[in-house]
A and B are shown apart, each in its own frame.
Chain A
Amino acid sequence: MSQPFRHPDRGRVDRTRPLTFRFGDRTMTGFAGDTLASALLANGVHEVARSVNLGRPRGIVTAGVEEPSAVVQIEAPFPEPMLTATTVEVYDGLVAHPLRGQGWLAPEPDSARYDAVWAHCEVLVVGAGAAGIAAAADAAASTGDRVILVDERPPRPSEVPAGVRLLTRTTVVGYYDDNFLVAVQRRTNHLGAAAPLEQARERLWRIRAGRVVLATGAHERLIPFPDNDRPGIMLAGAALAYLRDYGVLVGRRALVYTNNDTAYRVADELRGAGVDVVVADTRADAPAADLPGARLSGVLGDRRVTGVRVAGRQLDVDAVLVTGGFSPVLHLYSQAGGRLRYDDGLGALLPDGCRQRVEVVGAAAGVGLPRCGPPPMPEPSDADGRTFVDLQRDVTIAEVRRATGAGLRSVEHVKRYTTAGTAHDQGKTSGLLTSATVAAALGSSAAEVGVTTFRPPYVPVSFATLAGRDRDDLFDAARLTPIHDWHLARGAPFENVGQWKRAWYYPRDGEDMAAAVTRECRAARTGVAMMDASTLGKIDVQGPDAGEFLDRLYTNVMSTLAIGAVRYGVMCRLDGMVFDDGTVARLTADRFLVTTTTGNAAAVLDWMEEWLQTEWPHLRVWCTSVTEQWATVALVGPGARGVLARVAPDLAVDVESFPFMRWRDATVAGLPARVFRISFSGELAYEINVATWHGYALWQALMTAGADAGITPYGTETMHVLRAEKGYPIVGQDTDGTVTPDDLGLGWAIRKSTKDFVGRRSLSRPDTARSDRKHLVGLLPDDPTLLLVEGAHIVGHTPLGPPPVPYLGHVTSSYPSVALGRTFALALVTSGRQRIGERLYATVNGTLIPVEVTSHVLYDPEGARRDG
Chain B
Amino acid sequence: MMIITCPWCGPRNETEFHYGGEAGVAYPADPGVLSDEEWGRFLFVRSNPKGVLHERWSHNAGCRRWFSVHRDTVTHEVGPAR
Contact = CB atoms under 8 A, between A and B. Distances in A.
Interface of A: 176-178, 180, 208, 337, 355, 574-575, 606, 609-610, 613-615, 754, 756, 760-762, 765-766
A244 to B, nearest CB: 39
A178 B3 contact: yes
B31 interface: yes
A763 B45 CA distance: 18
Given A178-B76, A609-B66, A610-B20, 14 more contacts: A176-B1, A177-B76, A178-B1, A178-B3, A337-B75, A355-B75, A574-B43, A575-B43, A606-B60, A610-B58, A615-B26, A756-B30, A760-B32, A762-B39
Contacts of B39: 761-762, 765
A761 B32 contact: yes
Interface of B: 1-3, 14, 18, 20, 26-27, 30-32, 34, 36, 39-40, 43, 56, 58, 60, 64-66, 75-77
B70 to A, nearest CB: 15
B2 A614 contact: no
Contacts of B30: 756
Contacts of B27: 615
B66 A613 contact: yes
A761 B40 CA distance: 10
Contacts of B58: 606, 609-610
Contacts of A614: 20, 56, 66
Contacts, number: 49
A610 B77 contact: no
B6 to A, nearest CB: 13
A255 B18 CA distance: 60
Nearest to A767: B36
Given A176-B1, A177-B1, A766 B43 contact: no
A766 B30 CA distance: 19
Contacts of B56: 614
Shortest beta-carbon contacts, A-B, top 6: A761-B31, A180-B1, A613-B66, A177-B2, A178-B3, A177-B76
Contacts of B2: 177-178
A355 B77 contact: yes
23 contacts: A177-B1, A177-B2, A177-B3, A177-B14, A178-B3, A355-B75, A574-B43, A606-B58, A609-B66, A610-B58, A613-B65, A613-B66, A614-B56, A615-B26, A754-B32, A756-B30, A760-B31, A761-B31, A761-B34, A762-B39, A765-B36, A765-B39, A766-B36
Contacts of A610: 20, 58, 66
A328 B46 CA distance: 42
Contacts of B1: 176-178, 180
Contacts of B26: 615
Contacts of B60: 606
Q: Which of B1, B18, B32, B40 has the most CB of A within 10 A?
A: B1
A791 B56 CA distance: 37
A10 B76 CA distance: 50
Q: Which of A606, A609, A754, A761 has the most CB of B within 10 A?
A: A761
A614 B27 CA distance: 10
A337 B76 CA distance: 10
B61 to A, nearest CB: 12
Contacts of A178: 1-3, 76
A548 to B, nearest CB: 15
Given A178-B3, A610-B20, A614-B66, A756 B43 contact: no
Contacts of B32: 754, 756, 760-761
Nearest to A356: B75
A491 B20 CA distance: 44
A756 B76 contact: no
Nearest to B20: A610
Nearest to A182: B1
A319 to B, nearest CB: 46
Nearest to A755: B32
A78 B67 CA distance: 50
A472 to B, nearest CB: 22
B31 A756 contact: yes
B14 to A, nearest CB: 8
Contacts of A760: 31-32
Nearest to B1: A180
Q: Which of B3, B26, B31, B64 has the most CB of A within 10 A?
A: B31
Contacts of A761: 31-32, 34, 39
Contacts of B14: 177
Contacts of A615: 26-27
Nearest to A766: B36
Nearest to A206: B1
A180 B2 CA distance: 8
Contacts of B76: 177-178
Nearest to B60: A606
A179 to B, nearest CB: 9
B42 to A, nearest CB: 8
A612 to B, nearest CB: 9
B40 A765 contact: yes
A177 B36 CA distance: 41
Contacts of A766: 36
A178 B56 CA distance: 19
Contacts of A754: 32
Contacts of B77: 355
A756 B39 CA distance: 14
Contacts of A613: 65-66
A321 B25 CA distance: 64
A760 B58 CA distance: 25
A355 B26 CA distance: 33
A177 B40 CA distance: 35
A754 B2 CA distance: 45
Nearest to B30: A756
A671 B27 CA distance: 46
Q: Which of A177, A765, A766 has the most CB of B within 10 A?
A: A177
A614 B66 CA distance: 7
Nearest to B74: A337
Nearest to B4: A178
A762 B43 contact: yes
A453 to B, nearest CB: 14
